[in-house]
Structure 1
Amino acid sequence: MGSPQGAEDRDRIQSIERGFAVLRVFDADRPRPTSTDVAEATGLSRPAVRRILLTLQHLGYVRPVGNRWRLTPRVLSLAQHYTATNSVADIAQPHLTALAERTGESVSLAVLDGGDAVWVARVPVRRLLSIDISPGSRVPAPATSAGRVLLAWNDEPVIASVLAAELPAYTDRTVTDPRRLRAELREVRARGWAVVAGELDLDLLSLSVPVRDHTGEVVAALAASTSAARFTADELTAKVLDPMLATASRLSTELGQPRGADARERREGFF
């Protein structure tokens, strides 16, 4: 009898997997890769990469520039389809705008995808951060306040998988010990919010709170981010925590959570 994994493998379409692997090569470090760059990054043969790139060109997602390739604006439609069909991102935008106006800080909404926190909505203020935080951007969940919120209320298999993977040190402050990180997640869950300073980037300070759906499940993290040169962690917490908890509560209510539910509510889980 075949294994469930084997059945799952048979149901996957390899050409689609390869197409997305090629698209993921395009990033800030490789905005205009050559076909050789793509082949090296994906492990695919150059003939296979050429066919995939030509197919993506036919569909309008990439175009050649000399011997290099670049994405076209059509790829943004993929993100638009997500926000158009995802109630969290759609409902959150006016709440984020109001919170940014009230606090004067950049605010964002993130969801968990594997070991990454992915930003799905964002309202920036006119202060430059050293890392890109825009819709569609991905950051490692263990090193960010949003990611720790999303992990702290998640299922044990998800947490165990993230902690079992490599935990790179992005700065000298990054927590890379799985046991210490698990303790950090316990603390986040106990107090109801997370603050992280200088672990992904020495200049980045962020605070995040959970957003729940109608079942009480944490489905997103609401985050405020700023430069570490402007505030200490305690100062940022004193400034934005209460407005953020209030915003998360209103957003959770719109997502169907019963009115009066506490944004700090704790649920049974892996702890």
Structure 2
Amino acid sequence: MVTEPAGQQPAYYVKSVEKTFAVLLAFTSDEPRLTMTRVAAKADLSRAAARRFLLTLADLGYVSTDGTHFELTPRALDIGASFLANLTLPQIAEPHLRQLAVDLNETTSLCILDGTDVVYIARVAAPRLLSVSVNVGTRFPAWATSMGRILLAGLPPAHREAYYKSIQLTPFTENTVASIDALRSEVDRAAELGWSLVSRELDDGLRGLAVPVKRGNDLIAALNVSLQTHRMPEAEIAETVLPCLQQAAEAIASDFGGRSRGVA
């Protein structure tokens, strides 16, 4: 590979391509309609250059204009459509799970609801662990896990009640929720808070913290971190771990085409 001197672009570099994408990326969810002057400022172009790029993109069908303002057209989606079509939620989530696992030095997972169980669809073990007993495809009763309770909290009330009628609670530890009424209260609390913490119910040495991952208004998965009970006091989790988890959930949702806003 040929290394260019610092500050210089490679000989093949097409500056106009860079400028084209600067113009396209000037349009954001906060500013979907822009004047030519505003595009020039955001793309670091002269007004004359911005005009040429915008009018060319309009001729190609990527932007539309009313004569004063410009905005992207649906055709702009074609640029990333092929890439997005080949991505699945686990693929999108994995780099975020890896970074979260490194940041927290804990195991991170992404789960979906399947019947009465949660199913792991992506999982990254804590960097300090040499082996794990839970893998992609592992199932647990949804009612006994933090991610399960977040997913149950996102169900319509009638579906939630149907779920309660379909299960039988079995103790895993002495801390396992013991009644449907108690479970209902925990799920209602998860719905109210937008996150769920389950402590020592499935495994006496573990706590699980989970937040929702949403695409628009649709709850698509739960993001979870498993915390060994001896590594952090429970009182600190909401202040130190929860913001990291919520940020990762937002990033996954954004990459998958939506925004996570908590459980409704």
User: What code does the residue aligned with 1:94 have?
Assistant: P
Residue 127 of structure 1: how far off its partner (Å)? 4.8
Give the aligned partner of residue 242 of structure 2: 241
Distance across 2 between alignment mates of 1:130 and 1:195 = 24
Give the aligned partner of residue 39 of structure 1: none
Provide TM-score, normalisation by structure 1. 0.61
Pairing 1:176-191 to 2, within 5 Å after superposition: 176-191=178-193
User: What code does the residue aligned with 1:160 have?
Assistant: E
Native 8 Å contact 1:248 1:263 kept in 2: no
Native 8 Å contact 1:130 1:201 kept in 2: no
Provide TM-score, normalisation by structure 2. 0.62
Give the aligned partner of residue 160 of structure 2: 159
Distance across 2 between alignment mates of 1:171 and 1:85 = 42
User: What code does the residue aligned with 1:246 have?
Assistant: Q
Q: Which runs of 5+ in 1 are unaligned?
A: 1-83
* Secondary structure of residue in 2 paired with 1:184: helix
Q: Which runs of 5+ in 2 are unaligned?
A: 1-84
Distance across 2 between alignment mates of 1:242 and 1:118 = 24
Residue 176 of structure 1: how far off its partner (Å)? 2.6
Distance across 2 between alignment mates of 1:180 and 1:211 = 25
Distance across 2 between alignment mates of 1:136 and 1:86 = 19
Give the aligned partner of residue 144 of structure 1: 145
1:90 aligned onto 2:91: yes
Distance across 1 between alignment mates of 2:179 and 2:128 = 32
Native 8 Å contact 1:141 1:147 kept in 2: yes
Name the larger-Rg structure. Answer: 2
Native 8 Å contact 2:101 2:127 kept in 1: no
- Percent of aligned positions with the same letter in both sequences? 35
Give the aligned partner of residue 171 of structure 1: 173
Which of 203, 209, 212 is 1:210 aligned to?
212
Distance across 1 between alignment mates of 2:249 and 2:223 = 7
Residue 90 of structure 1: how far off its partner (Å)? 1.6
Distance across 2 between alignment mates of 1:182 and 1:129 = 37
Q: 1:186 to 1:205 in 2, by over 3 A?
A: same
Deviations for 1:127-161, whole angstroms, at most 9, x for unmatched residues? 55998321111111111101111111113343223
Aligned residue pair count: 179
Native 8 Å contact 2:253 2:260 kept in 1: no
* Secondary structure of residue in 1 paired with 2:241: helix
User: What code does the residue aligned with 1:255 have?
Assistant: F
Distance across 1 between alignment mates of 2:116 and 2:260 = 27
Residue 194 of structure 1: how far off its partner (Å)? 0.4
Residue 253 of structure 1: how far off its partner (Å)? 1.3
Q: For the aligned residues, what is the CA RMSD?
A: 2.3
User: What code does the residue aligned with 2:202 have?
Assistant: L
Q: 1:131 to 1:168 in 2, by over 3 A?
A: farther
Deviations for 1:223-261, whole angstroms, at most 9, x for unmatched residues? 00021122232223332110111111111112222xxx5
Q: 1:155 to 1:185 in 2, by over 3 A?
A: same
Q: 1:129 to 1:236 in 2, by over 3 A?
A: farther
- Of 111-120 and 86-95, deviating more is 86-95
